[in-house]
Structure 1
Amino acid sequence: MTAALVLAGTRPGGDPFAEALGVPHKALIELDGKPLLARVVGALREAGIERVGVSCDDGPVADLASALGAEVLLAGRGPSASVGLALQALGTPLVVTTSDHALLEPQWVRELIGKRGPDADVSVMLARRDVVEQAMPETRRTYLRFADGQWSGCNLFYLQTPAAVKAIDTWAMVEADRKRPWKIAARLGPGTLISMLLGRLTLQEGLDRLGKRIGISAQLIAASDGLAAVDVDKQADLEVVRELLAHRR
């Protein structure tokens, strides 16, 4: 049975964005009267996932997670470490997302699971820039440039087999260099770096090379809805999301 993990750890030194809004953590920011964490857990449950864990520290986020019927899991020193601990507690298959995924929809979770290949150990959802800008032109995201376009992460991962644990150390490396993809490519060898710099490497090819290096099969899931790449990480994000929800109403 598929379980899910919501990453809601606390940054060292706290989160200035959350503190400016008068809450101790982003997961407690309210949209339409509901905390972000409640929105995310609700979407996962609507997608058919019954067992949901929340990786967080003791305090109000843990209290809310318990009230939502989620399992409170110990947060590690960074997202990758938290995922490693969650794999021990929840096992695979495991959907991983974040507590600031304010617009998370059940169909995106079903898409992540339903489109993965049977032999994939890890699946990662990303959205092409044109799809993101079509859905929400006002949002500003960080994009990775590949031969098949520019891509933005969606904070949605599917760890399908126990072999996915091999990706944890690499996940930590990607965390450190996520805004400098050339450094990630350089760690895969000069051939990969040159291919990327010359615009000859597609995103799936990059995942294939990364997967082979660590002994897993990694698959790209292209998001059909660009809103899947929108999270709430700063004030501008929050304003854009609030405008969207107001427009829907």
Structure 2
Amino acid sequence: MLAYILAGGEKTEFTPQGKAFARIHGKQMVEYVIEALQGVSEIEHIVVINNQKSLLDNLREALQQPENPDEYILIATCDVPFLTADAVRDFLDRCNCEADFYYPIVGKEDQERRFPEIRRTYVKLKEGSFTGGNLFLVKPSKLIPLLGRVEKILDLRKSPLALSAELGFSFVLRMAFSKLTGMLTIRKVEDRVAELFQINARAVISPYPELANDIDRPEDLLLAENLLSG
């Protein structure tokens, strides 16, 4: 399996080269991700994408590289220094290779047990409250045609009215109601994604919060240094 690390981007508040190269205990953040992936026997080759453009541009470049776009590739972001080989291996084991796209989600209890110092945003569903991970198992041939739609949704994310129209008002209302009641199921969300994007996507519940904790701000580096000091 090929693995791609998205290390480029427009933000420069970490280093002029981007946050992938910010140092934690003298080691570049992207190196922590590389080392975790190197510990997984299923991964044969690791490619770091660093074109200094947007995250979506990095994703597009990664998806266009494999010779066989119908074979699964693993995509990871560069800013998950807590990532471990065990977490990656467990995620891959939980993917049954029947869908086009797999995305890990981590339960609130697992997150707060392992990283009580880190605050995360959760979505309350019938199965529990979850936060998203930073790995994706995907068939490039299925995702490439959707990048334009993904870009549009990202552009609309700060305009709730326009975003609601794009996703469907009824679905947005159910999501908002679910945040209060937790009545929306994972499968219902997956079904809506299938309707919107014509892709068979599956959420994978992972017990490893190491997948979910990324570094968004320079001040997060200090917290990462403290947590990785052992």
1:123 and 1:136, CA in 2 relative to 1: closer, same or farther beyond 3 A?
Answer: same
TM-superposed deviation, 1:213: 2.3
The count of aligned residue pairs is 222
Is residue 117–residue 219 contact of structure 1 (8 Å, CA) maintained in 2?
no
Corresponding residue SS for 2:133: strand
CA distance in 1, matches of 2:212, 2:33: 14
Deviation (angstroms), 1:238: 1.8
Residue 189 (structure 1) aligned with residue 168 (structure 2): yes
CA distance in 2, matches of 1:100, 1:183: 30
Q: SS at the partner of 1:209?
A: helix
Q: Is this contact kept in 2: 1:185–1:196, CA < 8 A?
A: no
Name stretches of at least 5 consecutive residues in structure 2 with no aligned partner.
Answer: none
- Check 1:177–1:134 CA distance in 2 against 1; reply closer, same or farther (3 A cut): farther
Q: CA deviation at 1:220?
A: 0.4
User: Is 1:237 paired with 2:220?
Assistant: yes
2:29 matches 1:46: no
1:31 offset after TM fit, Å? 2.2
- Residue pair 2:123, 2:129 contacting (<8 A) in 1 also: yes
CA distance in 1, matches of 2:104, 2:79: 16
C-alpha displacement of 1:186: 4.9
Structure 1 residues 24 and 156: CA distance shift in structure 2, 3 A:
same
Please say if 1:107 is aligned against 2:90.
Answer: no
Q: Which ranges in structure 1 are unaligned for 5 or more consecutive residues?
A: 58-74
Q: Deviations over 1:131-163 (max 9, x none)?
A: 211111110223334343332221111104632
**Match of residue 63 from structure 1:** none
Q: What SS does structure 2 have at the residue aligned with 1:132?
A: helix
Distance 1:244 1:237 in 2: 11
Contact 1:27 1:35 survives alignment (8 Å)? yes
Match for residue 208 of structure 1 among 183, 187, 191: 191
- Aligned with 1:165: secondary structure? helix
% identical equivalent positions: 25
Structure 1 stretches of 4+ moved >6 Å: 178-183
Q: Which amino acid aligns with 1:212?
A: E
- 1:26 partner amino acid: K
How has the CA–CA distance of structure 1 residues 3 and 134 changed in structure 2, closer, same or farther, with 3 Å as cutoff? same
Q: Distance in 1 between matches of 2:137 and 2:194?
A: 14
1:15-61, Cα deviation, whole Å (9 max, x unpaired): 22x14xxx63211122233211122112112112121121113xxxx
* Structure 2 equivalent of residue 67 of structure 1: none
**Amino acid aligned to 1:217:** N
What do you get for the CA RMSD once the two structures are aligned? Answer: 2.6
Verify the 8 A CA contact 2:102 2:202 in the aligned structure 1.
yes
Which AA in structure 2 matches 1:34? K
Question: Aligned partners of 2:177 and 2:62: how far apart in 1?
Answer: 38
The equivalent of 1:217 in structure 2 is 200
Query: Which residue in the other structure is 2:8 paired with?
Result: 9
**Residues 141 and 152 in structure 1, CA contact (< 8 A), matched pair in contact too:** yes
1:14-29 pair list within 5 angstroms: 14-16=11-13, 18-19=14-15, 24-29=17-22
Q: For residues 223 and 93 of structure 1, do their structure 2 counterparts lie closer, same or farther at Cα, with a shift above 3 Å needed?
A: same
Separation in 2, partners of 1:208, 1:181: 22
Q: Name the residue aligned to 1:62.
A: none
Larger RCO (CA under 8 A, 6+ residues apart): 2
Amino acid corresponding to residue 213 of structure 1 in structure 2: L
